[in-house]
């Protein structure tokens, strides 16, 4: 039997690069919600909240989408 890893709850203060490294399955969720710069150098050190602000996205909506992604 294969165990699936439990994903920890994502929050606005988390760094995008860290989230993607730990949860690569969330890349489509970021993209579907308007965050197309996942591979950008800034994403390696920028929080989800900061990136949402820069791109004019709703950080709460992004967090909800990330945490509800399957």
Residue 5 lies in a domain: no
Question: What does the pLDDT read at residue 51?
Answer: 95
What confidence tens digit (pLDDT) does each residue in 10-46 have? 999 999 999 999 999 999 999 999 998 888 898 999 9
Return the CA Rg of the chain: 12
Beta bridge partners of 47: 15
Distance CA 57, CA 49 (A): 9
Residue 10 lies in a domain: no
- Please state the domain count of the chain: 1
Residue 62 lies in a domain: yes
H helix intervals, the chain: 16-22, 27-32, 48-55, 59-68
Residue 28 lies in a domain: yes
What is the distance, to the nearest Å, from the Cα of residue 36 to the centroid of all Cα atoms in its chain? 11
- 4 pLDDT higher than 60: no
Residue 70 pLDDT grade (very low, low, confident, very high; cuts 50, 70, 90): confident
**pTM: predicted TM-score of the whole model, two decimal places:** 0.85
Residue 11 lies in a domain: no
Residue 4 lies in a domain: no
Question: What does the pLDDT read at residue 50?
Answer: 96
Domain of residue 36 covers: 16-68
């Amino acid at each position: 039997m294969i165990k699936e890893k439990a994903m920890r709850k994502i929050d606005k203060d988390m760094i995008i690069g860290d989230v993607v490294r730990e949860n690569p399955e969330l890349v489509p969720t970021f993209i579907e919600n308007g965050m197309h710069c996942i591979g950008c150098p800034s994403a390696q050190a920028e929080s989800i909240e900061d990136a949402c602000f820069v791109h004019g996205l709703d950080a709460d909506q992004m967090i909800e989408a990330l945490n509800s992604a399957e």
